[in-house]
């Protein structure tokens, strides 16, 4: 699926999501995304909240899988582990979701998240496992 197809599918599945996320690239190994951060994503201390980064990681992993298997809405998260590496600024974030394993029933995706002003320094890294429904 192309970036435009992924964004359109995401918007149909989760109306209003286009205000939060943008798919900036798709390749055979995964996808690149942006999280459009607003004040509502903040936490005390002027930093991006952990739940916002976890949601971004989960969404990026889901779309990375769909970019390879097509629009399967019922693929669901079975595990999400995240490490917060450094304090992020309250600004847009970029993420790279790399598909590590794509099996018939499970997919494993690694997601690196960085502040847009310092894309070379990860602020969080997640590993997400998804269950893929059997074909009917």
Question: Residue holding tokens 């304090």?
Answer: 87
Residue 26 β-bridge partners: 31
From first to last of its 136 residues, what are the pLDDT tens digits of the chain? 889 999 998 888 889 888 899 999 999 999 999 999 988 888 888 899 999 999 999 999 999 999 998 887 778 899 999 999 999 999 999 999 999 999 989 999 999 999 999 999 999 999 999 998 887 4
Q: Is the pTM of this model over 0.95?
A: no
SS3 78: strand
* Orientation angle between helical segments 50-69 and 3-13, nearest 10 degrees: 120
Residue 130 β-bridge partners: 77, 107
Structural domain boundaries enclosing 32: 3-131
DSSP state, 105? S
DSSP state, 89? B
Number of domains in the chain: 1
CB 66 within 8 A of CB 10: no
Looking at residue 58, which CATH number applies to its domain? 3.10.129.10
Q: Is residue 136 part of a domain?
A: no
């Amino acid at each position: 699926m192309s970036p435009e197809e992924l964004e359109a599918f995401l918007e149909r599945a989760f109306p209003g999501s286009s205000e939060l996320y943008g798919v900036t690239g798709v390749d055979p190994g995964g996808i690149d995304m942006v999280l459009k951060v607003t004040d509502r994503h903040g936490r005390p201390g002027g930093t991006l909240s952990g739940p916002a980064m976890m949601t971004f990681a989960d969404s990026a992993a889901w779309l990375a899988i769909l970019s390879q298997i097509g629009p399967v809405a019922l693929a669901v998260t079975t595990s999400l582990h995240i490490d917060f590496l450094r304090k992020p600024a309250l600004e847009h974030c970029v993420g790279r979701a790399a598909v590590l394993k794509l099996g018939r029933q499970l997919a494993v995706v690694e997601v690196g998240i960085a502040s847009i002003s310092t894309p070379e320094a990860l602020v969080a890294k997640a590993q997400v496992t998804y269950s893929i429904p059997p074909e009917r």
